[in-house]
Structure 1
Amino acid sequence: MEIKVRIDATIDGLRVLIESPTNELANELLLQLSNVQEKDMFTVKTKDGIQVVQVHEIEIIEIFADEVVILTINNEKIIFRGRLYKIKERLNGQQFVQITKSTIINIKQIQRLENSFSGNMLAILKSGRKQTISRRYLPNLKKILRQIN
């Protein structure tokens, strides 16, 4: 395989040209490229239509009854109907961790952890938001944080 990169300030965005002796090889590469892009984006169907959120911009995901609320680092609030376990499946990776029965946070947004009342801990996020971590989910969070270091 031969890879060439050409920097051209006159074009807008990224342009990819795939030249291949077979259609199968080209399609395989195209599929891999589209999977990389899809992992960076999270789409949800809201009452206003389909909204695209960059995964790295998601700070907190909370569920209230059957309404899911995504809070972003840009203070954007996205509300839609869904189930927390389905969202966890779609975000399958170590970037997000469940900290209560109804809350998932982006571990890359954690600034520090503090002791709280009754054995719980408090996650202080980079935005200044504070989220309680229940004792039930604390061991998993600690395990993931150890794996990162």
Structure 2
Amino acid sequence: MCFLGFGSYFCYDNPAALQSQFKRDMQVNTTKFMLLYAWYSWPNVVLCFFGGFLIDRVFGIRWGTIIFSCFVCTGQVVFALGGIFNAFWLMEFGRFVFGIGGESLAVAQNTYAVSWFKGKELNLVFGLQLSMARIVLDRGAHTSLD
């Protein structure tokens, strides 16, 4: 469960590590580059109200996790294809699809934690979840920049 969010965090932060390469190779300015993060955030303006409802009442924790993980994976594949084909609009669309699943996947992860752990352990579990995903991500980011 600690590594459930790792892929999502890694894919979310990856464009920032490659910002200069994106701007140079795709011939985009900083404003257009930052649209990649805006496209991720826009679906969550609405999904923040519905993500938990869908997990609790419609899909259940297991299927909700699978569905939102598929959105994350599909969005990242579309984003990568946009890079391969030098199509920035496709990269933006991929980030939008990725955004549909990203934050709702974090809700599913927290729902698992709450259902598996009770009382005092819950704070430790939340800390471990975030720390494991970020520690591994930070190690990978530093090695890729060297």
Q: With structure 2 as the length reference, what TM-score do the two structures score? A: 0.23
Larger Rg: 1
Q: Point out the structure with the larger helix share.
A: 2
Q: Point out the structure with the larger strand share.
A: 1
Greater relative contact order structure (CA < 8 Å, 6+ sep): 2
Q: With structure 1 as the length reference, what TM-score do the two structures score? A: 0.23
